[in-house]
Amino acid sequence: MMEELFPWLLVIASLAGNVFVVRKDVRGQWIWTFANLGWIAYDLSIGAYAQAALFTVYLGLCVWGIVSWTRDAKAQAAH
CA distance 25 to 23: 5
Residues 6-57: tens digit of each pLDDT: 999 999 999 999 999 999 999 999 999 999 999 999 999 999 999 999 999 9
Contact 42, 6 (CB under 8 A): yes
Query: Residue 55 burial by CB count (10 A; 0-12/13-18/19+): exposed, middle or buried?
Result: buried
Q: Is residue 1 predicted with pLDDT exceeding 90?
A: no
Would you place residue 67 in the very low, low, confident or very high pLDDT band (cuts 50, 70, 90)? very high
Q: Which helix (H) or strand (E) holds 53?
A: helix 49-78
Nearest to 37 by CA among 20, 17, 19: 17
Number of Cβ atoms within 10 Å of the Cβ of 28: 21
